[in-house]
Amino acid sequence: MEPYVFSMVFPRNLANLGIFTLLLLAVWALIWGRVLGKIRPTLFAAGLVILVAFDLYSANAGANLTIAAEKYGVIPPNLQLLLEDKEKFRYFVSPVIYRRSHLELRTEFLDYAKTIFYMRNSLTANQGMIYRLSDVDGYESISTRLHNTFMQKIWSLNSLQGVRVFDILNVKYLLSNAPLPNRNLRLLRTDSEPYKIGQTYLYENKSCLQRYLFVPKAKVIANESVALDYVFSPRFNPKEEVILDRQPDKKSAWLFCSEVYYPGWRAFVNGREVPIYRANYLFRAVPVNDKAVDIRFIYDPISFKLGAIVTLLTIVGLAIAVKRR
């Protein structure tokens, strides 16, 4: 986890754990007092209502500040540029800007309308989600180990020259806190934000690839760290090869999918199920041939089926128990 993210998440989670512990002790004290007959039913019920109200309030107090509707709808320049692009793409924001904007969000609430404006212009704090824009960072609570490692590798780069990872991530726009010398990046605009965000540079990635790409051949690199280094090296050409984590069943062309590899997905080519391979360290790919005209992905995890069975058995068990009464 990025150090600045940890510095925000750890204190928050520690505080939440403390509040949870206090509430748990309070509920236990109420129940124990009622069992011993020292607390009357009305007082017990009132105590539970108060604890529930406190729990709900403490979880979201200060989370939703008010703002005039006309100010909330204002779209800043960087966001406007992305909204004008009707293609499917993702965007990337420098972790330095993320850190500064989170500090801004935590400390500058004297003018919330202005804060929201600059947060949106810096494309941070999940603001793009409101407009159906895809942030390559994802969301911290559902990130996989591979995704976190991949992003940390990006954050540690000293130069983007010759690096094609943004291309396979479908990143068309990059917002940086410093100039990025790269012939594939076109500077669209700069901003000098007040407060803590500082100078920003919005670039268009001219070599951005689509989320689905046909690739003629595959190369197998089973070792994760070696595969990651190769994908980040200038030797890697995502249009010519896909890096697999295991040997394929047979030689074929490949459909590379710029989506995180995750258990539970099934792939079908022309109605026939084919294996899904982990590709380019983080993503997935399926073997195809020149006759492939219908390619489908279905999310069908065993965990969902097991959960459904457990739920069904629980309902049946409860129904039997109630009937026996």
Per-domain residue ranges of the chain: 3-60, 69-205, 212-302
Check residue 10 and give its pLDDT: 57
Phi and psi at residue 259, to the nearest 5°: -140, 145
> Cα(247)–Cα(249) distance, rounded to whole angstroms?
7
Query: How large is the greatest C-alpha to C-alpha distance in the chain, in angstroms?
Result: 78
- Least confident segment among 100-104, 182-186, 321-325: 100-104
pLDDT band at 110 (very low <50, low <70, confident <90, very high): low
Check residue 194 and give its pLDDT: 59
> Helix crossing, 224-231 with 145-155: angle to 10°?
40
Rounded percentage of the chain residues whose pLDDT exceeds 90:
50
Check residue 72 and give its pLDDT: 86
Overall residue count recorded for the chain in this entry: 325
Question: Residue written as tokens 């895809």?
Answer: 134
Check residue 12 and give its pLDDT: 64
Which pLDDT tens digit goes with each residue over 111-161? 778 888 888 888 886 888 889 999 998 776 678 899 999 998 998 887 777
Q: Does residue 109 register a pLDDT over 60? A: no
Q: Is 101 exposed, middle or buried (0-12, 13-18, 19+ CB in 10 A)?
A: buried
Which pLDDT tens digit goes with each residue over 227-242? 999 999 989 999 999 9
Task: Give the E-state strand segments of the chain in sequence order.
Answer: 90-93, 134-135, 171-176, 185-193, 198-205, 212-215, 217-220, 241-244, 253-257, 265-269, 272-274, 277-279, 283-288, 295-299
> Cα(97)–Cα(85) distance, rounded to whole angstroms?
23
Would the CA dihedral through 167, 169, 175, 178 be positive or negative?
negative
Cβ contact 163:89 at 8 Å: no
Cβ contact 160:182 at 8 Å: yes
Q: Does residue 265 register a pLDDT over 80? A: yes
Check residue 106 and give its pLDDT: 57
Which pLDDT tens digit goes with each residue over 44-89? 999 999 998 888 887 766 666 778 888 888 899 999 999 999 999 9
- What's the count of helices (H) and strands (E) in the chain, helices before strands? 11, 14
- What does pLDDT average to over the chain? 86
Which pLDDT tens digit goes with each residue over 270-304? 999 999 999 999 999 999 987 778 999 999 999 98
DSSP line for 111-175: THHHHHHHHHHTT-TTHHHHTTPEETT--GGG--HHHHHHHHHHHT-S--TT--HHHHTTEEEEE
**Identity of residue 51:** L
pLDDT band at 220 (very low <50, low <70, confident <90, very high): very high
Higher per-residue confidence, 102 vs 15: 15
Phi and psi at residue 195, to the nearest 5°: 60, -130
